[in-house]
């Protein structure tokens, strides 16, 4: 009985130690602190590109954005913003993503836009437009919205935030405007789990 009790105590202590180590984040390792003001409300921002193969893996294979969203507390927002600087239709895809956000159809068109960009199938906005139509957005919705005031504002917002955060590579995650997740400092054994956990823990800082 004493031996069993000792084993349980030792196991609990070891588990506590592991959990403490897992939760311990260090500036310059798992994250980098930015020299700008914290956001007024808790939020997570991901910058991505439909052309980026790592973004495709994050989204479609490892489902990191989905796992991050499922771990957010009430009142915390998660936004995905597209960057212009990758691929021949990068700017058009930023505008198309702005339209998707304005219409609230991000989940309807996201996979199709990733597949099209990864296959380098987009030669013009017309090709992107067809993906929207194929996935439930009417031609009238697309044509009436793609150059609207609301979409122009969202295009500008994405571009301004890319400049503000000095984003040069994607996928790139930011928490509360104050912390950038540093993928180089995350666990190689459980990269996906560590990535998600780091984002959630940074929201508590």
Query: What ranges do the domains of the chain cover?
Result: 31-204
Chain centroid, CA 43 distance in Å? 11
Interval 16-69: pLDDT, tens: 333 434 448 999 999 999 999 999 999 999 999 999 999 999 999 999 999 999
Tell whether the model's pLDDT for residue 81 goes beyond 90: yes
Cβ neighbours of 137 (radius 10 Å):
19
- Contact (Cβ atoms closer than 8 angstroms) between residue 83 and residue 48: yes
Q: What is the separation, in whole angstroms, between the first and last Cα of the chain? A: 43
**pLDDT surpassing 80 at residue 75:** yes
Pairing of strands 31-33, 43-48: unpaired
Q: Which H or E run includes 61?
A: none
What is this structure's pTM?
A: 0.88
Kindly indicate whether the domain formed by 31-204 is annotated with CATH number 3.40.30.10: yes
Distance CA 19, CA 13 (A): 10
Tokens read off for 176: 């509360």
143 CB-contact burial (10 Å; exposed 0-12 / middle 13-18 / buried 19+)? exposed
- In tens, the pLDDT along 107-134 reads 999 999 999 999 999 999 999 999 999 9
pLDDT digits (tens, 9 = 90+) for 6-15: 333 344 434 3
Identify the DSSP state of 176: T
Buried b (16+ CB within 10 A) or exposed e, 150-189: ebeebbeebbebbeebebeebbbbbbbbbbbbbbebbeee
């Amino acid at each position: 009985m004493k031996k069993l009790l000792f084993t349980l105590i030792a196991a609990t202590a070891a588990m506590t130690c592991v959990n403490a180590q897992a939760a311990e984040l260090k500036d310059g390792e798992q994250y980098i602190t930015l020299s700008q003001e914290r956001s007024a409300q808790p939020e997570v921002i991901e910058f991505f590109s439909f052309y980026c193969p790592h973004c495709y893996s994050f989204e479609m294979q490892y489902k990191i954005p989905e796992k991050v969203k499922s771990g957010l507390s009430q009142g915390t927002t998660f936004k995905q913003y597209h960057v212009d600087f990758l691929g021949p239709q990068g700017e058009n895809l930023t505008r198309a993503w702005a339209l998707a956000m304005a219409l609230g159809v991000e989940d309807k068109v996201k996979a199709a836009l990733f597949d099209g960009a990864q296959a380098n199938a987009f030669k013009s906005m017309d090709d992107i437009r067809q993906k929207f139509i194929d996935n439930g957005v009417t031609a009238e919705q697309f044509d009436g919205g793609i150059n609207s005031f609301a979409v122009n504002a969202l295009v500008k917002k994405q571009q301004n935030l890319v400049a503000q955060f000095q984003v040069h590579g994607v996928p790139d995650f930011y928490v509360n405007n104050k912390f950038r997740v540093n993928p180089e400092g995350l666990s190689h054994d459980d990269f996906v789990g560590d990535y998600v956990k780091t984002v959630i823990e940074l929201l508590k800082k």
